[in-house]
Amino acid sequence: MTAMIKSTFPSISCTLAKANSVLEVSSGSFSRVPEKATPLRTDNANLLSEGQTDTILLIEDEEKVRNLAKRMLVRLGYRVLEAKDGAEALDIFRKHEEEIHCVVSDVMMPNMNGWETLAALRKLSPDIPVIFCSGYDVARTMPVEHTERPNAFLAKPYHLQDLGNVIRRVLANETIVSI
């Protein structure tokens, strides 16, 4: 079965070959993950972090993108706390700071953008790993005028494996410019 689906990204079309498959997107691809995903089992140890007990704070204002990203993170074996903007993320972070191992954040958000959220998070926890995700390219998203820098940048849309790899590398204290 092949069907066209509507993307949340402007001017991007997706083709779904069958349920639980990879969606091929004209400017990249990302994995379609079932609602009740079980942790991904793989022989590739580099894809998954060890222990599978890490908690990710996911910050994304677009509900459909947030839901997809959460399902991907759950599939990778992570526990996920969700926020729709930076202000909500800070509230969650204050309540769960000891549990959160990494933050995956959109950059362009209403109320409090990714840069403002990053600065506020680093005041609370200077060493918290933060990964920025954006549909804009790295040059537009990562201007030099900010003093706080994320540990990595991941372009949207992204593959399940790319998300897993960047989180694993950031948790291993590697600084990554972009994936």
pLDDT of residue 169: 93
CATH assignment at residue 127: 3.40.50.2300
Contact 102, 57 (CB under 8 A): yes
Query: Residue 11: inside a domain, yes or no?
Result: no
pLDDT of residue 19: 35
Query: Residue 57: inside a domain, yes or no?
Result: yes
pLDDT of residue 52: 66
Divide the 179 residues of the chain into consecutive groups of 10 and give the mean pLDDT of each group.
Answer: 38 34 35 41 43 86 96 96 97 98 95 94 96 81 73 92 94 71
How far is CA 123 from each of CA 55, 63, 94, 109, 151, rounded to the nearest angstrom? 20, 27, 11, 20, 16
Query: Residue 13: inside a domain, yes or no?
Result: no
- Host domain of residue 134: 33-171
How far is CA 29 from each of CA 12, 14, 88, 112, rounded to the nearest angstrom? 10, 9, 29, 28
Global pTM value:
0.71
Query: Residue 143: inside a domain, yes or no?
Result: yes
Burial of 76 (0-12, 13-18, 19+ CB in 10 A): buried
Pairing of strands 28-31, 55-59: unpaired
Query: Residue 76: inside a domain, yes or no?
Result: yes
pLDDT of residue 143: 62
pLDDT of residue 136: 80
Give the integer Cα–Cα distance in Å for 67 and 14: 17
Query: Residue 28: inside a domain, yes or no?
Result: no
Beta bridge partners of 30: 23
Distance of CA 95 to the CA centre of its chain: 21
Query: Residue 179: inside a domain, yes or no?
Result: no
Domain count, the chain: 1
Would you mind telling me the total number of residues written for the chain in this entry?
179
